[in-house]
Amino acid sequence: MPIKLIQNSANVFSNLPGIHRVLLVSISIITFGIAFLNPNQDSSIHLIDRFDLFSAEESIPSMALSPDSEFYDVLPFYPEEIEGESVQPTDQTKFEHIIQSGDTLSSVLNQYGVDISEIAKLTKSNKDLAKLQIGQTLSWELNEEGDLNTLTWAVSKRETRTYALEDGKFTEVKDIIQGEWSDHLITGELTASLSESAKLIGLSKKEVSAITRALSWQFNTNKLKKGDKIVAVFSRESLNGKIEQSQLLGVRVQSGGKDYYALKAENGKFYNEEGYAPSQGFLRTPTNKAFKVSSHFNPRRLNPVTKRIAPHNGVDYAMPIGTPLLAVGDGTVIAAKRDGAAGNYITIKHNSQYTTRYMHLKSIHVKPGEKVKRGQKIGLSGNTGRSTGPHLHYEIWINGKAVNPLKANLPRTESMSSSEKKEFEAYIEPVLKQLTF
Ligand SMILES: [Zn+2]
């Protein structure tokens, strides 16, 4: 294998336009010259290093595969080249090319001399080849007549597609490498917020989001602070020693003396330790981020605009104009329009008991009658209607009565039947017992 790669790199070199070849050789000579001339270095040792590059076969393939490496200039460095003598054999059959901006399959193959009709034969039955991306590697082999025989497209670290000529047609074979999945227990005490502590604890950004989503219906992870504790079990896939992806199986956070759990059940959804399903619960706030309350729910408030005592039927969150607003639960839009005082507003009926309202919006993204899902973006916050500054006025109505959104009992799902709960408990048990501090 190493031998083949050496040959490849030599071939790539012989394939470069003349001026590039001259350039590479001169860079190599300059590099060499510096090694000799630098008085501060032991040039004999340096020289041995350089020669090692050529004698140690193991070190060459990796260089051959990474043309961006600083060694690339040194690589096609053969004594014959320095002398200016022509040396490379021309019977090259194997080629390799890394996709760059502007490359297409035809432009790449054609510049290496593959006939357009051959390329058409390949692309006709394999349309995916039009989706080449920068940085992917193409390698191909020609037969004795110089026609295309096989093409290999390294789509990603895990996926390779090979097109081989059979009976005048190129057929595609996909090769997908599976990594190793294993469970990982991550535990730690926060030194700051969750996102700031994540790296120290050993969590990736994606894993932090998974934890935030899993807990979102019962706890806002933005509130985690120094001294709070977290323990989580992730199933991680590692490929060539690197973590490629991971799945959260369970998490427990301890904040302000309280514990919050999110455990993945067999159906893929997260429940707390008592088996409550978050998907039917409400989001605590109609935004992804937490915002400051600028005016609380108050049945007898002095209105700052009208100077009259009037109930403030919701809570005001100060937020920049254009903040995405989310439906706090599944439901149906029953109003979405402009009104004098409310400005652009939306009303969602969630069930026979619960209704929510969102006011002063900049824009409305839903229509009356439309069904919405919990967490769905319904509009952008604004400063329309009777409003003294950019904010969201948010209301929750239960059985026709406005309630304090910060204190309201939000809908949770009905508890599981006793047999369902037994199944759930058995399923989560291996993860749950690991979630200890
Ligand atoms: Zn308000």
CA of 193 to the centre of ligand 1 (A): 30
CA of 394 to the centre of ligand 1 (A): 7
CA of 345 to the centre of ligand 1 (A): 12
Task: Look at the domain 180-277 and name its fold.
Answer: Nuclear Transport Factor 2; Chain: A, (3.10.450)
CA of 393 to the centre of ligand 1 (A): 4
CA of 329 to the centre of ligand 1 (A): 20
Under the banding of pLDDT at 50, 70 and 90, the label for residue 415 is low
CA of 50 to the centre of ligand 1 (A): 73
3-class secondary structure per residue, the chain: CHHHHHHHHHHHHHHCCHHHHHHHHHHHHHHHHHHHHCCCCCHHHHHHHHHHHHHCCCHHHHHHHCCCCHHHHCCCCCHHHHCCCCCCCCCCCEEEEECCCCCCHHHHHHHCCCCHHHHHHHHHCCHHHHHCCCCCEEEEEECCCCCEEEEEEECCCCEEEEEEEECCEEEEEEEECCCEEEEEEEEEECCCCHHHHHHHHCCCHHHHHHHHHHHCCCCCHHHCCCCCEEEEEEEEEEECCEEEEEEEEEEEEEECCEEEEEEECCCCCEECCCCCCHHHCCCCCCCCCCCCEEECCEEEEECCCCCCEEEECCEEEECCCCCEEECCCCEEEEEEEEECCCEEEEEEECCCCEEEEEEEECEECCCCCCEECCCCEEEECECCCCCCCCEEEEEEEECCEEECCCCCCCCCCCCCCHHHHHHHHHHHHHHHCCCCC
CA of 102 to the centre of ligand 1 (A): 53
Mean pLDDT of all residues in the chain? 79
- Reply yes or no on whether the pLDDT at 297 is more than 90: yes
- Reply yes or no on whether the pLDDT at 85 is more than 80: no
The ranges of the chain annotated as CATH 2.70.70.10 are: 293-403
CA of 425 to the centre of ligand 1 (A): 43
CA of 278 to the centre of ligand 1 (A): 28
Averaged pLDDT for residues 250-268: 92
CA of 395 to the centre of ligand 1 (A): 8
353: its two tokens: 């008991």
Give the residues across from 232 on adjacent strands.
186, 251
Q: Does domain 293-403 have CATH number 2.60.40.10?
A: no
| Tens-digit pLDDT profile for residues 200-240 | 999 999 999 999 988 877 788 988 999 999 999 999 999 88
| Tens-digit pLDDT profile for residues 149-207 | 999 999 988 899 999 988 888 999 999 888 899 999 999 999 999 999 999 999 999 99
CA of 388 to the centre of ligand 1 (A): 10
Averaged pLDDT for residues 263-286: 80
- Reply yes or no on whether the pLDDT at 79 is more than 70: no
CA distance 395 to 325: 13
- Reply yes or no on whether the pLDDT at 63 is more than 70: no
Averaged pLDDT for residues 363-392: 94
pLDDT value of position 309: 84
- Reply yes or no on whether the pLDDT at 36 is more than 70: no
Q: Between 275 and 385, where is the model more confident?
A: 385
CA of 214 to the centre of ligand 1 (A): 30
Averaged pLDDT for residues 335-342: 94
The ranges of the chain annotated as CATH 3.10.450.350 are: 94-176, 180-277
Residue type, 192: A
CA of 327 to the centre of ligand 1 (A): 18
CA of 295 to the centre of ligand 1 (A): 7
CA of 255 to the centre of ligand 1 (A): 30
Residues, CB within 5 angstroms of ligand 1 (ion): 316, 393
CA of 145 to the centre of ligand 1 (A): 79
CATH of the structural domain 94-176, one choice from 3.10.450.350, 3.50.50.60, 2.40.50.140, 2.60.40.10: 3.10.450.350
Give the residues across from 333 on adjacent strands.
348
> Who contacts 403 (Cβ-Cβ below 8 Å, separation ≥6)?
297, 396, 397
Under the banding of pLDDT at 50, 70 and 90, the label for residue 146 is confident
CA of 330 to the centre of ligand 1 (A): 23
CA of 219 to the centre of ligand 1 (A): 24
CA distance 258 to 197: 20
